[in-house]
Amino acid sequence: MDRQIVYPGSIPLDTDILNIERNVLVALGYLTQATLGTTTVADGLACVPTSPASMSISVGAGSITQFGVVDTTAFGSLPALTNDPLVRMGTNLGSTGFTLVAPTAQGQCINYLIQASLLEQDATPLVLPYYNAASPGQPYSGPSNSGASQNTQRLQSVQLEMKAGPPVAIGSANIPTVDAGWVGLYVITVDYGQTVITGSSIAALPAAPFLTWKLPQLSPGTSHLAVFQPTTQGTWMVPAGVSLLKLRLWGGGGAGGSGFEGAGGGGAGGGYSEGFYAVSPGQSFVVSVGNGGAGSNGGNSSFGNLASATGGQAGANGGSGAGGVGGSAAGSGSGSGLCITGSAGGAAFGAGGAWLSGAGGGAFGSAGGTAATGPSSGSIAGVNGVAPGAGGSGGIGIGSGGQGGPGLVLVEW
């Protein structure tokens, strides 16, 4: 941080004081950039109904940090610095109120957007006394004794604005567009006939840049886990404040082949994908999880278009006095980071009435079903593949092949 040097007996200059203020601004800006980065961040600014309830809301005290330049205009005697980038902070010490109006047509609602931006303005004009060398006891009134007032503060605050959308059918998500240079914070929905605003009417926008966690709440690494299986697949939305995910996906294992008076081949293991991905709060991703094969290939798993893992191929059925080959097309992973292909299934072999079925191929962290042994005249089922994603082993005689292990998707943040 730069500092001014002054000496005893020297005549103080206005730039001595102004440079101190500018140096503090620059130091705090770079400290803020080191901790929060250069993206806009909002803190506080809670939006709540009035008490007693009315058709008004209040946005409380808080701050906003926004990337800009040091000074867009001259700061007193110091020139503007429009080419020097800086993260700056605006603060509101008090609350700001807004009044909303319900639509006049039945079955309609209006969505109101609350948006924010950093506002810098010079304020508090005063007629300042100036030194009069000819008569030190009679100071000039304003510069050159002109009587003109001059601004004495450069204020940085949070500028808040409410934008009303058009009346639309109740339930519509038609939210006004956020203006350039602003960030959206809240949407307040007002239905026809509504006479008071309640907490249920107010929702923070998923992409609102609120500072979700403070230092005492942070923990190293990831601390949340979402688990998706074939029975729980669906849609997942990125929580507020989350910008990075760790994804781990397994495809389903292939089924082992049935014996059919011989022995079936083993199913191949599913693929695996692991990596970190940049996301934005409010993004939605469709999560699909592959089933383990049951007389079929294993299913594919995917997390939106970020990463996927394919299922393993089923083992071939045996025949009268014949053994089936193992599934050769093992599943594979795709995405950024670690991608691992599963193991192929083993082939069945034997002679006369004694057979060894094909073992299931493994997946990352999971073992395939172990080979079954026995006579072709029997009925020995194959062993299921271990979850997640391993292939099942083949059956013997009239026994069916083992099922592949189901796929799995893990989301960590």
d(CA 379, CA 263): 10
pLDDT of residue 218: 67
d(CA 217, CA 241): 13
Question: For a pLDDT cut of 70, what percent of the chain falls above it?
Answer: 99
Q: Are 318 and 353 in contact (CB under 8 A)?
A: no
pLDDT of residue 353: 84
Q: pTM here?
A: 0.66
Residue 82 zone, left/alpha/beta (φ > 0; ψ -120 to 50; rest)? alpha
Q: Tokens for 174?
A: 């038609």
pLDDT of residue 143: 94
Q: Please enumerate in sequence order all residues whose Cβ is within 8 A of that of 19, keeping only pairs 6 or more positions apart, or say none.
A: 2, 4, 78
d(CA 298, CA 296): 7
CA 56 to chain centre: 31
pLDDT of residue 171: 87
pLDDT of residue 7: 94
CA 11 to chain centre: 56
Say yes or no to pLDDT of 371 above 70: yes
pLDDT tens digits, one per residue of 76-114: 999 999 999 999 999 999 999 999 999 999 999 999 999
Give the pLDDT band of residue 223 (cuts 50, 70, 90).
Answer: confident
Give the pLDDT band of residue 221 (cuts 50, 70, 90).
Answer: low
Residue with tokens 């102004």: 18
Give the pLDDT band of residue 260 (cuts 50, 70, 90).
Answer: very high
pLDDT tens digits, one per residue of 165-206: 999 999 888 999 999 999 999 999 999 999 999 999 999 998
CA–CA distances in Å: residue 358 to residues 28, 251, 266, 315, 365: 67, 20, 4, 8, 20
pLDDT of residue 219: 66
Q: Where are the domains of the chain?
A: 14-204, 216-413
Give the pLDDT band of residue 241 (cuts 50, 70, 90).
Answer: confident
Give the pLDDT band of residue 304 (cuts 50, 70, 90).
Answer: very high
d(CA 49, CA 52): 8
